[in-house]
Chain A
Amino acid sequence: MRLYPPLALCAATLAAVFIGTGSADSMDGAPSGRLQAKISYCKDCHGPAAQGYRGYFPIPRLAGQQTEYIENQLRAFIEHRRTNNIMFNVAHALSPPTIAALAEHFRNLNPAPIGGAPRELVAAGKKIFEDGVPDANIAACAACHGPDATGSGQIPRLAGQLYPYVIKELVNWGKERGQNPARPDTSAIMSPVAHSLSRAQIEAVAAFVSYLK
């Protein structure tokens, strides 16, 4: 996992800071220190403020994410509802209280979006996000993800999410989500939407949400 030297350095620094803070106010001992270590481990890949990171794969922003969504996804990796070997191994080792604590931690972070998406796509993406494409039976993203794309409960925040990550998820929805037939899940809701969107429409929506704060 520690493949990215600049981040690894950041993470090491952060870890040192966290360990320092942790020992300063850790009247209740080890759990807090272990949690901080786990947080810094997540940030090795998801970025120093969990704003997302472009590794070999686009690694999603977790900052500001809905806690219910994060918890559900971690379980989805474990239950092979969502396929990802790296995240299966990561999630497999987490206890329910640790998952809850991590989700809460990420929820409260609010770094600026990474940006970098083609600006000229933003206007078209905004229109699709707010109005959908009724003629093509594409629902308005805002109906479920909210007018600011902050999500709600089980429905994820999309604001500030990485442009290439949103594209990858929407393009591969049917191959990555809802993969355990014994356990159908909420990912089924997005399936027809992802399927109906053209590549150009996906790129436009991804560009729009990637700049939202």
Chain B
Amino acid sequence: MDRDPRLAGAMLPNERRRWPPIKVAELSLAAPAAVLAAVLATAAAAAENKGTVSKRDVDAKLAYCEVCHGVAAQGFHGYYPIPRLAGQQTEYLENQLQAFVERRRTSTIMFNVGHVLSPAMIAALAADFHDLNPKPLGGAPKDLVAGGKKIFEEGIPATDVPACASCHGPDAKGNGAFPRLAGQLFDYITNKLTNWDKERGQNPAKPDTSALMQPIAHKLKDAQIKAVAAYLSYLE
């Protein structure tokens, strides 16, 4: 109660490494004045072509994301469980933002958020979130962890549930399109696995990788989902 629970184990905002937008500053230090103008002009033209965003705009957008996703994007318990983005795979983040916009994944709030982001902004945000590494929020039932670890590492061969580790990695850090799960909020994972069919792959015209998880989410029983979610929520 005394301290913002979102600050627990998190880096302070001024300790974070921020996304470097364009390297104009570094170039200008190295370049003679005569060349500088040309370099700047080229950089500006390139920026315009690629739709690059300024550090200031990225920082403002990050602060906005963290209002809901928590300090250092460690996740937050709002009215809904709001997922941890810290350490997440950039490809996964970019794909999910696109999924909200394309109605493949249903979330009215995130549709609106994603809708106004330029490709350059999305890339900058994803890179920044990937580089953050706050402690997990914690709070899941500890007694479920051992059972969850077993399911994560070995799957449940009897009911054809594959080992989560085979795609999400032994440390649950994910890889490319496969999301990091380490440190994700217990109730967020529970919620996603329980409602997979109703939230993901919702645009029949645009089938996506969420189809991979569909049969697995379907086979997991409530108790198994909770066990895996508890295990993952404590992983650093």
Contact = CB atoms under 8 A, between A and B. Distances in A.
A131 B112 contact: yes
Interface string A78-91: 01000000000000
A185 B82 contact: no
B61 A144 contact: no
Contacts of A147: 79
A139 B79 contact: no
Interface stretch (B15-23, B63-71, B167-175, B217-225): B63-71
Contact of A192 (B6, B64, B78, B116): B64
Contact of B4 (A134, A138, A140, A189): A189
A184 B67 contact: no
B109 interface: yes
Given A134-B115, A140-B109, A185 B4 contact: yes
Given A144-B79, A153-B77, A192-B64, A132 B116 contact: no
Contact-residue size bin, chain A (C-beta under 8 Å from the other chain):
20 to 34
Interface residues of B, number: 25
A183 B2 CA distance: 6
A134 B125 CA distance: 15
Interface of B: 1-7, 60-61, 63-64, 67-68, 76-80, 82, 108-109, 112-113, 115-116
27 contacts: A72-B1, A132-B109, A134-B112, A134-B115, A134-B116, A137-B63, A137-B64, A139-B64, A140-B109, A143-B68, A143-B80, A143-B109, A145-B79, A152-B79, A183-B3, A184-B3, A185-B2, A185-B3, A186-B6, A188-B4, A189-B4, A189-B6, A189-B76, A192-B63, A192-B64, A192-B67, A196-B64
**6 A-B pairs with least C-beta separation:** A137-B64, A144-B78, A146-B79, A134-B116, A139-B67, A131-B112
Interface of A: 71-72, 75, 79, 130-132, 134-135, 137-140, 142-147, 151-155, 183-186, 188-189, 192-193, 196
